[in-house]
Amino acid sequence: MTTVTPMSDDTATPAAGLKADCLFCRIARGEIPARKVYEDDEILAFHDIHPQAPVHFLMVPKVHVENLYDAGMAQRPMLGKLLGMAGQLAREQGANDGFRVVVNNGRVGRQEVYHLHVHVLGGPEPLGSGMNRL
């Protein structure tokens, strides 16, 4: 199992065991700009740079967890917060009549960035039914 490591407060050097080149770690540390939707001490939500719906943002933990294989019972509060905040943030972004939550996990699940992230998609019209790449 991969070690789950909190982000460092020092933006120049990641915490021990953290991948310095992880895209979402770098966004969470403020090294790469993002259009933020929400941020607190545990999670960050920001708009997807290639949106697949009128509302499309990502929610990531501020600890480096590669995917759900590496998330254990110790991460229950963070995982609960990701899903617990999804509805509120989706509504605030304009998804007032429903939304979709997607977590791509591993190669077969077509995960592209190996830092756990939740896609939240919605808009004024029903989303397509296909399982297109997100």
Known catalytic residues are 117
- At 93, give phi and psi (nearest 5°): -90, 0
Helices of type H across the chain? 23-28, 76-92
Tokens matching residue 34: 């993002």
How buried is 6 (Cβ within 10 angstroms: 0-12 exposed, 13-18 middle, 19+ buried)?
middle
Closest CA to 133 of 90, 102, 95: 102
